[in-house]
Structure 1
């Protein structure tokens, strides 16, 4: 599509500005127009959790305008929200983290990444076995902890890779660090990534190392993700070409195959918030793209409603420190990449709309409406940095800033 000229904003030099996107992984806020087509009827991650626990306590998000943007029991609308608020609709095909982050960054997929509810086909497995020199066991849909409990003893006996998948488009390889060296596991993942091309172009290959003994297996922090390359230009590419510094927090660099961004990987949301604050307190200019994964990974996929509630309220308590670190020409965007409703029978992601909150000294509080695509966010960030936009989406910067 033709480039859209940037909005002219009579404030500081765009080269000196900062923008930060914080993705609350899995924190959707209700059905999208095509939710039924994904089998997710009734999913409303924020709304259903709030109803299930008799109301959420999120006073800081409430002041920004979360209750104005979407119905959340315990978080009513406020008369004068301090942030721009709205919701965004998913338009790309799929409901995984890669798809959601790519759409935020202006790139849409015409078809979802492939999934394997019956395990990977024989030709995929045989090619992997031949290339790595080890057999494969499991090859099923499973939780990471369960598949290790079921197959670790057989791996110790045979030296085979434990290969498994989930409802997401992932090729996961588990290996005990004492039985198969980490470097060999990583090489195997690189091999799988090279082999898994269309029609088996899964979103991510994931190294899942573990340690321990029978009855006491533990996954280690040496996980690595090997993502497929984005097939088109993203916001990160645009900012790189313009010389805008880019930093990631969490798994963001994995989702973009390390292209145009490097991340500080974090162990949990608390460490993620610390990393965000460190960037805010030290970076003179540039863009930070952060993912806080605990909502999705620890609680959504495990249908843990109290855990999800606790993570939301913990983030709300951390929010004042983020807001206090905003400088005159900063924009802070808070959003999500998909839903993961722990109140439904499914443990999979859900096709949902996502909240949109935008804070900063230049921001006027007010409605941003229902945005037609997550890509409106990426277009707005590009606009903030004075860059013409070549991706999907439309900037809402003129609606966001004070005159």
Structure 2
């Protein structure tokens, strides 16, 4: 598939269980999604994310209300941060920064700088120093999830080429306040908006749903070191399958550079999953 646009939805704070190096970050037993589901009970259901394959990424360790499905709509997997740091922006940098032949640069800006005149990078987010320092991106400020999804839908329904990145804030705010019910409500709202989003996509769109960091609200550690979800959806209608455990968030940067044919140094650690999509 010749993709013309990559859309990334960052459900920041969503983790799916302690990472293999959780003991180094005071995160043994952390499980943001699992703990939210367990404390909310049978009322907790995320039908869209379930159909896309979120529950399949927890094979052998199912989550209440998010069971694995037999024929997921999306490709599913999980990501372990490669960086030794575990700060709020660590995942963002690992997701977008890559080693070009000249220097470390951001895929957000490079899509515009190295592409043709038709390519755009659009960022929808509340203030974040890393994001707002992207000089060539169109920055659309959104201070809540309703505003963010409204702007995302407005961008997606108009045919265009390039990169669109949207970051939610409702979930991370509820996690910060240890508001379990608020976390569940926020995830249900996101799930509803994703149902609308996948019906708005063009055949040449590539949708990536992930989370740049985890924050289990039952832990005092912020952020928690967890595996992060990776769901990739294309409107082609094919059944998705496992993308496995990705060794680094740099795989997303590698996939972006692959889609837009950006020059990447051979020393770059990211591995594109573009060739793994049927």
Same fold by TM-score, threshold 0.5 exceeded? yes
Q: Could you say which residue in structure 2 is the equivalent of 1:204?
A: none
Q: 2:113 and 2:135 mapped to 1: Cα distance?
A: 12
| TM-score where L is the length of structure 1 | 0.62
Q: Could you say which residue in structure 1 is the equivalent of 2:164?
A: 288
Match of 1:339 among 211, 214, 221: 214
Q: Could you say which residue in structure 2 is the equivalent of 1:235?
A: 107
Q: Could you say which residue in structure 1 is the equivalent of 2:150?
A: 274
Runs of at least 4 residues of structure 1 off by over 6 A? none
Which structure has the larger Rg? 1
Shift of 1:387: 2.8
Shift of 1:292: 0.5
Shift of 1:254: 3.0
2:105 partner SS: coil
Which string of whole-angstrom CA distances, capped at 9 and with x for unpartnered residues, describes residues 55-83 of structure 1?
Answer: 42101110000000123211110000010
Q: Could you say which residue in structure 1 is the equivalent of 2:260?
A: 385
Q: 1:38 and 1:253 mapped to 2: Cα distance?
A: 23
Contact 1:301 1:347 in 2 (8 A): no
Q: Pick 1 or 2: higher relative contact order, CA cutoff 8 A, min separation 6.
A: 2
Q: 2:47 and 2:55 mapped to 1: Cα distance?
A: 10
Instruction: Answer yes or no: is 1:397 the counterpart of 2:269.
Output: no
2:165 partner SS: strand
Instruction: Answer yes or no: is 1:63 the counterpart of 2:60.
Output: no
Q: Could you say which residue in structure 2 is the equivalent of 1:45?
A: 32
Alignment of 1:191-230 (within 5 A): none
Alignment of 1:254-269 (within 5 A): 254-256=129-131, 257-269=133-145
Shift of 1:251: 3.6
Q: Could you say which residue in structure 2 is the equivalent of 1:100?
A: 91
Give the gaps of 5 or more residues in structure 2.
none
Cα-Cα RMSD: 1.9
Contact 2:108 2:134 in 1 (8 A): no
Q: 2:187 and 2:20 mapped to 1: Cα distance?
A: 25
Which string of whole-angstrom CA distances, capped at 9 and with x for unpartnered residues, describes residues 114-134 of structure 1?
Answer: xxxxxxxxxxxxxxxxxxxxx
Shift of 1:364: 4.5
Q: 1:324 and 1:394 mapped to 2: Cα distance?
A: 29
2:89 partner SS: helix
Contact 1:19 1:330 in 2 (8 A): yes
Q: How many residues of Structure 1 are paired with residues of Structure 2 in the alignment?
A: 264
Q: 1:32 to 1:252 in 2, by over 3 A?
A: farther
Which string of whole-angstrom CA distances, capped at 9 and with x for unpartnered residues, describes residues 255-308 of structure 1?
Answer: 242333232111211111111111101252111111101111x21111111000
Q: Could you say which residue in structure 1 is the equivalent of 2:233?
A: 359
Match of 1:322 among 150, 175, 197: 197
